[in-house]
Amino acid sequence: MADKAILYDATRCTACRGCQAICKEWNENDEIIPTKQNGVKSENRGSNENPKDLAPNTWLKITFNELEHYGKVDWLFNRRACMHCTDAACVKVCPSGALYKDEAYGITGFNKDLCTGCGYCVEFCPFDVPRLEGSTILGKTKMSKCVLCTQPSLNRLDAGYEPACVKTCPTDALLFDDREKLIAIAKGKVAALQAKGFTNATFYGEKELGGLHVMYVLNDTPDKYGLPVDPKFPATATAWQDIIQPLGWAVGGLTILGLALNYIIAREAKMTKAIPGKKEKK
């Protein structure tokens, strides 16, 4: 099956945040939402943007960014959630197979049951997306992130629907379709933006990390939207997973092999020396 993807057109997004709300509702991340009444008060921090950051119960949030560009004040909105990278560092470092590349859709799937809560994905994600729920001090944790509405029993994709965020978008700023189709659409959009005078307009996500499954149409460079300009698969992940871990197995294996060999030789040697040994003992 062809890879699926989301195309987020920031120039169409009105930051109504229907996606942010429906994400919580559909994925049942709404059991504890901060309110004054339950003691974890949500506060206005001098911005329309809230909550402050992605969280185990906030898989998707819209960011608000005020700036001046193209000679005037602008208010840029952006969508923060899992990018579903093709070369997913989180999958690479996940020790239990909880994170995996979904073969049907190309997205970065997550089997929460298998999650050990090690948090390696949190550290190695080039987009700082996964979040740990529970106490990292006590150590009883699980990771949590957008799974593009593929949670068991809440799986929209398998049922033939688009993800909830896409469904709720009133301006079609979010599209869900075959990745290849969306790439063509996005290129057209960026060309149109550039023709309109947005000379820095960018299509983001086609090549990054082997191709993201959440792609962006931006009217300026990615940094203006708070996106890493050139996200890289972390070298430490490669060094760790592709060099150190195999090396570890090699070292471990060779050690045991060596010891076994030693045992055979040393035992043999000791046997043959049994007589001089006796002599010595005298």
Partner 1 sequence: MTNHWNDIANSDCILVMGGNPAENHPASFGHIMTAKDRGGTLIHVDPRFTRTSAKADIYAPLRSGTDIAFLGGMIKYIIDDIEKNPGNYNMTYITEYTTSPYLVNPGYKGPAELDGLFSGYAGGLNETDAAKRTYAKSTWAYVNDDAGIPKKDKTLKDPNCVFQLMKKQYARYTPEMVAKTCGTPQKTFLEVCRSFTATGKTGKAGNILYAMGTTQHTVGTQNIRAYAIIQLLLANIGIAGGGIQAMRGESNVQGSTDFGLLYNVLTSYLKQIVNTDTTLQKYMDRITPTTKDPNSANWWGNTPKYVVSLLKSWYGANATADNEFGFHYLPKPHTGKNYSHIALFEAMETGTIKGLTVWGQNPAVGGPNANQERKALEKLEWLVAADLWQTETANFWRRPGVDPASINTEVFLLPALNSYEKEGSVTNSGRWIQWRYKAGDGPGEAHDDLWMMDKIFKKVKELYTKEGGPGAEAITKMDWDYGDEHPDVHKVAKEINGYDLTTGKLMSSFASLKSDGTTSCGAWVYCGSYTEAGNQMARRDPTPDTYNIGLYPKWAYAWPLNRRIVYNRASVDLDGVPWDKEHPVIWWKDGKWTGDVADGGFPPINVDPKATRWPFIMTAEGHARLFGSGMAEGPFPEHYEPWESPVKNPLSKQQFNPAIKVWRAAEQGTVDKYPIIGCTYRVTEHWQAGQMTRNLSWLVEMQPEPFVEMSEELAEDKGVKNGSRVIVESARGSVNMVALVTKRLKPFLIDGKTVHEVGMVWHFGYIGLAAGDSANLLTPHVGDANTMIPEYKAFLVNVRKA
Partner 2 sequence: MIQKNEAVVEKYSKATRILHHIHTAAFIILFLTGLVLFIPQLGFLAQDSWTRILHRIAAAIFIVAPLIYLILKPKAAIEALKEAFTWGKEDIGWLKAAPRYYFLSDEEGMPPQGHMNTGQKLWWFIVVVFGAFIALTGAVMWFLKTIAPAAVLQWMVFAHDVAFIVMGAMLFVHVYLGVIHPMMTEAWRAISKGTMSEEYAKSHHGLWYDKQMKKDNEKGK
Q: For residues 182 and 160, give the distance between their C-alpha atoms in angstroms, rounded to a whole number.
A: 18
CA separation, residue 121 to residues 22, 56, 144, 173, 205 (Å): 25, 13, 10, 28, 20
Which CB sits closer to partner 2, 40 or 256? 256
Q: Which listed option, partner 2, partner 1, none, makes contact with residue 41 (CB within 5 to 8 Å by class)? A: partner 1
What is the closest distance, in whole angstroms, from the C-beta atom of residue 59 to partner 1 in the complex? 13
Quick check: helix, strand or coil at residue 262? helix
Q: What's the gap between Cα 244 and its chain centre?
A: 23
Per-residue binder mask for partner 1 (CB under 8 A), 42-81, x = binder:
xxxxxxx-xx--------------x-x---xxxxxx----
Q: What's the gap between Cα 224 and its chain centre?
A: 21
CA separation, residue 165 to residues 25, 46, 121 (Å): 10, 26, 24
Among residues 32, 138, 159, 275, the one that binds partner 2 under rule CB under 8 A: 138
Q: Which listed option, partner 1, partner 2, none, makes contact with residue 226 (CB within 5 to 8 Å by class)? A: none
Interface region with partner 2, contact rule CB under 8 A, candidates 135-143, 161-169, 197-205, 212-220: 135-143
Q: Which listed option, partner 2, partner 1, none, makes contact with residue 228 (CB within 5 to 8 Å by class)? A: none
Which CB sits closer to partner 2, 2 or 260? 260
* Secondary element (H or E) of residue 131: strand 131-135
Among residues 92, 142, 156, 179, the one that binds partner 2 under rule CB under 8 A: 142
Q: Which listed option, partner 1, partner 2, none, makes contact with residue 73 (CB within 5 to 8 Å by class)? A: partner 1
Q: Which listed option, partner 2, partner 1, none, makes contact with residue 270 (CB within 5 to 8 Å by class)? A: partner 2
Quick check: helix, strand or coil at residue 100? strand
Q: Which listed option, partner 2, partner 1, none, makes contact with residue 15 (CB within 5 to 8 Å by class)? A: partner 1
3-state secondary structure 27-83: CCCCCCCCCCCCCCCCCCCCCCCCCCCCECCECCEEEEEEEEECCEEEEEEEEECCC
Q: Supply 246's token pair.
A: 């195999």
> Residue 51: is the preceding peptide bond cis (ω within 30°)?
yes
Among residues 45, 140, 207, 232, the one that binds partner 2 under rule CB under 8 A: 140
By the 10 Å C-beta count (0-12 exposed, 13-18 middle, 19+ buried), 204 is classed as buried
Could you tell me if 236 and 120 are in contact, meaning their C-beta atoms sit under 8 angstroms apart?
A: no
Q: Summarize as ranges the residues that interact with partner 2 (CB under 8 A).
A: 93, 95-98, 113-120, 122-125, 128, 132, 134, 136-142, 234, 236-237, 239-240, 244-245, 247-248, 251-252, 255-256, 259, 262-263, 265-267, 269-270, 273, 281
Q: Summarize as ranges the residues that interact with partner 1 (CB under 8 A).
A: 11-12, 14-18, 20-21, 24-25, 30, 33-37, 41-48, 50-51, 66, 68, 72-77, 170-172
